[in-house]
Amino acid sequence: MLSGHQAVLTGAAGGIGSAIVRELIGQGAMVHGLDRDRERLRLLEQECAGRLLAYPVDLTDRSETDRVLGDLGRALGGRCDILINNAGISRIVPFALSDDALLDLVLAANFTAAFRVTRALLPALRSSQYASIVNICSELALLGQSGYSAYSASKGALLAWSRTLAVELAGERIRVNAVCPGPIDTAMIEQEFAGADDPLRARAEEIALVPLGRLGTAADVAAVVGFLAGHGAAFVSGAVWSVDGGKTAR
Q: Which residues are catalytic?
A: 151
Using DSSP's 3-state secondary structure scheme, residue 244 falls into: coil
CB 87 within 8 A of CB 59: yes
CB 8 within 8 A of CB 83: yes
Q: Are strands 240-243 and 6-10 parallel, antiparallel or unpaired?
A: unpaired
- First and final C-alpha spacing in the chain: 34
SS3 assignment for 45-104? HHHCCCCEEEEECCCCCHHHHHHHHHHHHHHHCCCCCEEEECCCCCCCECHHHCCHHHHH
Task: Break the chain down into helix, strand, coil percent, rounded to 5.
Answer: 50, 15, 30
- Cα–Cα distance measured from residue 76 to residue 57, given in angstroms and rounded to the nearest whole number: 17
